[in-house]
Structure 1
């Protein structure tokens, strides 16, 4: 929690307005290209399989994200709108939940709104909100879970229902993509650490003290432990009825060993592969699309905003410093979440990695930058804080044509944005 005792006025109206603007901008050329591109070629057939015959395809990832796409196809048709509209909805949910989480953590009006601007113009959220991939569902559910957990600490009278909602969301996040599994443990471990630090004699059953008065450790273990695992497992129920190679009773654990083996077995070098150092320095991009399609040369580039990805690094260092020296727990928590979400990729047995694995860590990096800009503003340095936000928007506008598949003049048009060799 932040050092603030008296919160600013809740900016929920501005947050909602910013999310509406993000959604409307995401609708522009949402159906371009009109053909599947990048990893849509894997996930759309899997979604159609669930929808048409219950076929269980793309088994190296959990099923929920593809099931969500399948529902959208059933409602809106097997077309670009049906493929991609769920991603835009979840991208907007991600933006709203992330801002609400930072509001409850910091009680800073400026930091919450600044975070929304930085996150919306940070490139990764926008690009993944416009493509039928699994990452946006994972991040959306996890952001919602964080919002509910932090709000439960601020408003303990709503703690039970918020922790229950967080538990469901954590299970759904894991059922969308495994990248969030380690982070999904943090809320429960944080509850344990904070309750243990209170020195209660009845550690398991006491309902007094941080993080949520009125909730015992045993009850928290249900909401943040048992419920996520139950929800996650339930998303596999259709797999037991798949027409080919259904999931056998008693085979659930073995399935996960198989998934781990599939994830670690990809060792063939890829031209777009990168590592965690490349991600932090924003050195290696991925072209999701660059070809002549729908009557014009078009491109979709995944890279981080070249301004805020680098400014976020000293902001993370500041977050650790003020967290340890001034007990700014909001800043320290953001830095911890960044370290955990990035550290997983440093130690995990996945030889071939890509920049989109930095999606979650970069979300926490931008939260740290928002908190640092709020600190500058509070200390009277208003112009640098507003200048960074304005510059982030300006850079986003400049790159927007190759983030949104806009019509380009010709095949060599991409060179206008290639500031680094590794972006080609």
Structure 2
């Protein structure tokens, strides 16, 4: 028999989180990924070389419904993590958690650093977390309640999740390994389980067809990311597992692992986390790839804390951790104080959300200094999608980039014989007869992000047509 849901407390936490995130949404400015999604949203497709279509299309919907503003694009992420909070309470209840355990799971999830980052900015993570949580909830219903039809619901969510990120495969592989190693192996013969797998595959078919037609672009993207930052991600993996949602969440999650391990019905999901972690380490993937399973372990740990009468201790510890998470994850510090704090070093999202107006002003200043006739035919080429997105959002015309999906939207017109280059290395500049530095980017806050200190060049005399050189500009990162 299912325990009652602490719906009033859980709903209050979710609504409060949503309101706080929207109130703080204008802080600092767009993150570079949001600027990229804004560009992709103007090119609807079944997929892009670096990601499936769900997040860009939600960016499009947010802009259409709530306005082309930084707050408008952040409504859906804030709503998404509010839903995540409710799902985590439901997971705690499914694990036989009392009302206190459910509230603890909801509050700890809501105040975790990564939850706040995911809710503050539009990232693929913003929607991946609740999709994983929903799939895990339905798996638990199938495993614990002897209701095999829930495998169909889990399959439907897994299929949908492939339109956001393909990382849901880690959850599937982790569960499969867990069932093989710890059982109950009889489930591997369940028609409902295989029906859920087939439903997931059927829903994912258009996404899969895009990958096949494009010669598996996301595999190429994953290989590029691993080659570029794989070693760094492996070094960061263990410490970041302890700090993604805060160290208190990690401690409680450790007890949750023990709880799941002791219950043979759900031991497979306990095994799923180390399997997903190992696959991430081997592939050189980002340290947050298994974040959804950390939250499962945390919810299970909240049930253990409530059963042991440790709710008050856990609640105070989570409250103390919440203060640090808020400062790190949310735009609480003024921009002028950001550079002197540890926040930019810890939170890449905050670091890459500062200085876009100054960046645009510097590039526009160089462009406006050109003679009128030359300015009319000049093009701007950037090295990253964030830079391209910032200029596009500001209405700067004839902007191009070879970064990830943006390469597909080139080459520049052959009339663009004058090029303003930003974040382009010597290889790109050497394609021109002459290049002259005209400005340097200064974000005005001293924050050491990717754009700070970049030179802005004016180049003339492209030695070959743009169509001939454009393949040389393509890069993945």
Q: Taking structure 1 as reference, are residues 374 and 280 closer, same or farther at Cα in structure 2, changes over 3 Å only?
A: farther
Give the secondary structure class of the aligned counterpart of 2:26. Answer: coil
State the TM-score, normalizing by the size of structure 2. 0.62
Query: Contact 1:168 / 1:231 at 8 angstroms: preserved in 2?
Result: yes
Which residue, 129, 150, 156 being the options, matches 1:168?
Answer: 156
Give the secondary structure class of the aligned counterpart of 1:415. Answer: coil
Does 2:301 correspond to 1:369? yes
1:262-273 pair list within 5 angstroms: 262-266=221-225
Does 2:143 correspond to 1:148? no
Match for residue 344 of structure 1?
Answer: 279
Match for residue 322 of structure 2?
Answer: 396
Q: Taking structure 1 as reference, are residues 58 and 43 closer, same or farther at Cα in structure 2, changes over 3 Å only?
A: farther
Which residue, 292, 297, 300 being the options, matches 1:360?
Answer: 292
Q: Taking structure 1 as reference, are residues 402 and 218 closer, same or farther at Cα in structure 2, changes over 3 Å only?
A: closer
> Structure 1 residue 13: deviation in Å?
3.2
Which residue, 90, 114, 127 being the options, matches 2:117?
Answer: 127
Give the secondary structure class of the aligned counterpart of 1:19. Answer: helix
Query: Contact 2:108 / 2:249 at 8 angstroms: preserved in 1?
Result: no
Does 2:14 correspond to 1:19? yes
Structure with larger Rg = 2
> Structure 1 residue 310: deviation in Å?
4.7
Does 2:336 correspond to 1:410? yes
Q: Taking structure 1 as reference, are residues 375 and 328 closer, same or farther at Cα in structure 2, changes over 3 Å only?
A: farther
Give the secondary structure class of the aligned counterpart of 2:225. Answer: coil
State the TM-score, normalizing by the size of structure 1. 0.69
Match for residue 101 of structure 1?
Answer: 91
Q: Taking structure 1 as reference, are residues 117 and 264 closer, same or farther at Cα in structure 2, changes over 3 Å only?
A: same
Q: Taking structure 1 as reference, are residues 16 and 191 closer, same or farther at Cα in structure 2, changes over 3 Å only?
A: farther
**Structure of higher RCO (CA pairs closer than 8 Å, 6+ residues apart):** 1
Q: CA RMSD in A?
A: 3.7
Which residue, 67, 77, 80 being the options, matches 1:87?
Answer: 77
Gap regions ≥5 residues in structure 2 = 352-447, 449-477
Query: Contact 2:50 / 2:221 at 8 angstroms: preserved in 1?
Result: yes
Match for residue 261 of structure 1?
Answer: 220
Gap regions ≥5 residues in structure 1 = 1-5, 205-216, 238-246, 285-302
Whole-Å Cα distance in 2 between the matches of residues 317 and 165 of structure 1? 24
Q: Taking structure 1 as reference, are residues 44 and 279 closer, same or farther at Cα in structure 2, changes over 3 Å only?
A: same
**Count of residue pairs brought into register by the alignment:** 348
Query: Contact 2:183 / 2:268 at 8 angstroms: preserved in 1?
Result: no
> Structure 1 residue 254: deviation in Å?
5.2
Superposed CA offset, 1:315-340 (max 9, x none):
256446xx34xx4655x455323223
Give the secondary structure class of the aligned counterpart of 2:95. Answer: helix
Superposed CA offset, 1:222-278 (max 9, x none):
2x21111111224578xxxxxxxxx5xxxx4354633212211235656x9843563
Which residue, 174, 178, 196 being the options, matches 2:166?
Answer: 178
Q: Taking structure 1 as reference, are residues 112 and 273 closer, same or farther at Cα in structure 2, changes over 3 Å only?
A: farther
> Structure 1 residue 194: deviation in Å?
5.6
